[in-house]
Amino acid sequence: QVQLVESGGGLVPAGGSLRLSCATSGRSFSNRAMGWFRQAPGKEREFVADISSSGISTSYTSSVKGRFTISRDNAKNTVYLQMNSLKPEDTAVYYCAAGVIFGGRGGGYEYWGQGTQVTVSS
């Protein structure tokens, strides 16, 4: 069992920055890949970024490369998404997800947070 709670969302102007946090429970955090997803109004949920259990490997969807950075602090059981140079098209509910234990990136996600709203104004 893993519980995830996102925080850090809000309303920001275009070009601004936000840092999302995902606090997790459970001692298995360090054995799970973690990911961030988002869902905009009227759109399908999409992958944003992921990070390996060790934090060594990361990947991003093309639209956020160079602007977003995913990181994790295994000592704090927390994953972050630093979002810079935000654009209106980044507006969405952002969800944190925990991968299957020992599954690595691409192993699927079995736990999801409730999401945090990010709204970027023009």
Q: What is the pLDDT of residue 33?
A: 96
Q: What is the pLDDT of residue 104?
A: 87
Note the pLDDT tens digit of each residue in 51-67.
999 999 999 999 999 99
pLDDT at residue 106, rounded to an integer: 87
What was the pLDDT predicted at 26? Answer: 78
Q: Which residues of the chain have pLDDT under 50?
A: none
The pLDDT score that the predictor gives to residue 53 is 95
Collect all residues with Cβ–Cβ distance below 8 Å to 81 and sequence separation of at least 6.
Answer: 19, 20, 22, 36, 48, 49, 68, 69, 70, 94
